[in-house]
Amino acid sequence: MAKFHVKKNDEVVVISGSARGKRGKILEVLPAKQRVVVEGGKMIKKTVRKNQQYPQGAIIEREGSVHISNVMLAATFDARAAKRGVAPAKA
């Protein structure tokens, strides 16, 4: 199994892609695909079939995955921003 620079429950910032600038906690790491699921990160819409919870069916929004190379630990990101003299990203 590969070793990654982040793990579950780490605070990270998405540094590239459609979710760039989002900050959140890692909910899940998918090592086989080299991806992570970030809380509030890349939101996707998913259709749900009829069931007891959704009698009419539904379109729900949930977190999608982001490639692991597109996230950086929040502490490292803030340290770099401070070094450049830029205000840190807001939550």
12 token code pair: 């990270």
**Cα 45 to the center of its chain, rounded Å:** 15
Q: What is the pLDDT of residues 7-42, one digit of tens each?
A: 999 999 999 988 898 999 999 999 999 999 999 888
- Contacts of residue 81, Cβ cutoff 8 Å, sequence gap at least 6: 87, 88, 89
Q: List, in order of start, the domains of the chain with CATH numbers.
A: 11-84 (2.30.30.30)
The pair of structure tokens assigned to 82 is 């401070």
* pLDDT at residue 24 in the model: 93
Q: What is the pLDDT of residue 64?
A: 92
Which pLDDT score is estimated for 3?
85
